[in-house]
Amino acid sequence: MLVFPNYKKCSVNVISSIKKYYRIPTNVPSIEKLDDELNRMYKNVVLIVLCGVGENMLRASLKPSDILLKKMTEQLTSVCPSYPAAAEVSSVSGLYPNEHGRLGQTMFFKEFCRTVELSSNLDPYSNQPVSVANAADFILPYENIFGEIAGSILGSVQPFSIALPGVKIAENKSYHKVADNPKRMFELIKKIAETDQNTFTYVQWNAPQESAIRYGCESEETKSIIRDINDTVNGLSKSMKDTLIIVTSTHGMKDISSEIMLNLKYELCDCLLMPPVFGGRAVNFYVKADCRSDFERLFARDLSEDFHLMSRSDILKRELFGCGKTNKKIYDFIGDYCAFAMGDKSLTFRALNQKHRSPDKAGSGGITSDEMCLPLCVITTKQTSGWKRPLTENIAPRSFN
């Protein structure tokens, strides 16, 4: 089943609900069920954002009685493209991909005349740094929500962020903590919630993505990581009070049966101005102006069973990458066509100077239900009398016992 993004129920809308709770102006639709729960008022709000966990993967890994399935209140979709580069930024900023501009794992920056791998700042073909400063941060800066939350009219709200080692999150008036396993994540969240301040904790947990890439979505290694996360959330729900725990994911993943070598599609490659970018399951093509009809014909002949092709004008018209104010750089980054995986195959392009690599067992970026359909789990904890009263402006959390 093909699933396109629902920009009324995605990670951006989760952030909109959180903004509404902290009285931050937003024009983005919020999620009603989450709003209803937040309106009960909580001293601590914890948002745990997993990476690579679709609803289907969650159901395949857990029992119906497990807390993440039992407390699943809504089905969300990923943003599009459903890559970490796009989805993670949307989850921490509350911006649609067309607003923040980070669309793929690799993108062509005309300012450097280079293709850039966003996560490493390397040219994927030469494996050399593209610039001294991070190219994406320089060309496509964005702000996360921590600064706005710190200035909330609710009172002295202190934001915190927690991530695995090596994951970069701009502090922006938050305190950043590092956790290398779910047990340490549990300890940090609990300590933060026990302070006398009103807190918001954002957890970017980039798992089980790496395990799925290496072993596959259905592997025991991947399922074990999901069960560990479930047990951590279950422990938090039993040991905390005055806290709302929200668990969702940036995107899902799909097991890959085979990679199609675009290099071997000689006629198709002859239509291209440059190698494709974005990734293997959402692929961005820059096509020679006089070859577009040939490209469409050849794509339909060779790849239409596995990939859904859309023109630049169709993408913009359908607002596939979001419905907010479009970043002016978007018109540089979207090529003439984008192809989105509909099945279990991916496209790869290998330059002559690239080293051979083993194919990934799973990937993201496509428009299958495995990649696009995400869970939203809302877990409540016991509320004490001080935090059951209605919201009043300028609450100071320290005034409660």
What pLDDT score was predicted for residue 391?
Answer: 45
| Residue 2, SS3 per DSSP | strand
Spans of the chain below 50 pLDDT: 388-401
Task: Please name every residue paired with 116 in a beta bridge, in sequence order, or none if there are none.
Answer: 107
Q: Tens of pLDDT along 369-388?
A: 999 999 999 999 998 866 54
Q: How many alpha carbons fall within 13 Å on the CB side of residue 137?
A: 13
- Domains of the chain with bracketed CATH: 11-102+140-254+370-389 (3.40.720.10), 258-365 (3.30.1360.180)
Helical ranges in 67-175 per DSSP H: 67-70, 84-93, 97-100, 135-139, 146-150
What pLDDT score was predicted for residue 152?
Answer: 81
Strand order in the sheet with 72-77: 72-77, 373-380, 243-249, 44-51, 198-208, 157-163, 175-178
What pLDDT score was predicted for residue 131?
Answer: 86
Q: Tens of pLDDT along 125-153?
A: 888 999 888 999 999 999 999 999 998 87
What pLDDT score was predicted for residue 390?
Answer: 41
What pLDDT score was predicted for residue 197?
Answer: 86
Distance CA 29, CA 99 (A): 16
The radius of gyration of the chain's CA atoms, rounded to the nearest angstrom, is 22
What pLDDT score was predicted for residue 166?
Answer: 87
What pLDDT score was predicted for residue 385?
Answer: 64
Give pTM, 2 decimals: 0.93
Distance CA 259, CA 278 (A): 15
What pLDDT score was predicted for residue 176?
Answer: 93
